Chain A
Amino acid sequence: KQEVTQIPAALSVPEGENLVLNCSFTDSAIYNLQWFRQDPGKGLTSLLLIQSSQREQTSGRLNASLDKSSGRSTLYIAASQPGDSATYLCAARPGAAGNKLTFGGGTRVLVKP
């Protein structure tokens, strides 16, 4: 059974610092991995999707890497801003497309002005 872990559970950084968010998964036979952002009391916004054959994906200040062999993905947010404050969740999809996602517990990020 796939387990997804995100450490730390919470992170506080000063504005301008780069953010590094970690996600680990126990079963390397994933189809893809998604990173989401969730603001308090709101739904999830998809940030980046990495297919199992990819090593990284980039969108603006965001970069996500994937290392299947070690069961890890990392989300980098460059030059953090107070607007980046949110909870970030990673989720792994198992080997066959369309199967259900397994979510990590999330990392709550606070960027202080």
Chain B
Amino acid sequence: SAVISQKPSRDICQRGTSLTIQCQVDSQVTMMFWYRQQPGQSLTLIATANQGSEATYESGFVIDKFPISRPNLTFSTLTVSNMSPEDSSIYLCSAYRGNEQFFGPGTRLTVL
């Protein structure tokens, strides 16, 4: 299995500001993912983050709004930029290892 931690666990932010979410995996993984889960909804993939290359974004998500870093094989960050109330969601980091996918505890973001 993989143990994934995220910081912060929750935050309340003002409109127009940015928040960076950190994700740490307990051992090296090739593929990491960032998901968004809006209230009452299932998970939506934002992007795939591979070490040494730019993140691959899904339709509807752009790098200017959700810049991602992947400096090494155990760490990644997701920034939510110029936030609006519509960005209020749970953001989940995920890693793929041994045919199985694992998730962090999530970051609950509220934008006022």
Contacts and interface: CB of A to CB of B under 8 A. Distances in A.
Interface of A: 31-32, 34, 36, 41-46, 49, 51, 89, 91, 93, 97-98, 100-101, 103-106
A97 B108 contact: no
Listed residue (A89, A93, A100) with the most chain B CB atoms within 10 angstroms of its CB: A100
Contacts, number: 48
Interface residues of B, number: 23
Contacts of B6: 43
A52 B105 CA distance: 28
A25 to B, nearest CB: 14
Interface of B: 1, 4, 6, 30-31, 33, 41-43, 45, 48, 90, 92, 96, 99-106, 108
B108 to A, nearest CB: 6
Contacts of B43: 44, 89, 103
A46 B101 contact: yes
Given A34-B100, A42-B105, A46-B100, A100 B33 contact: yes
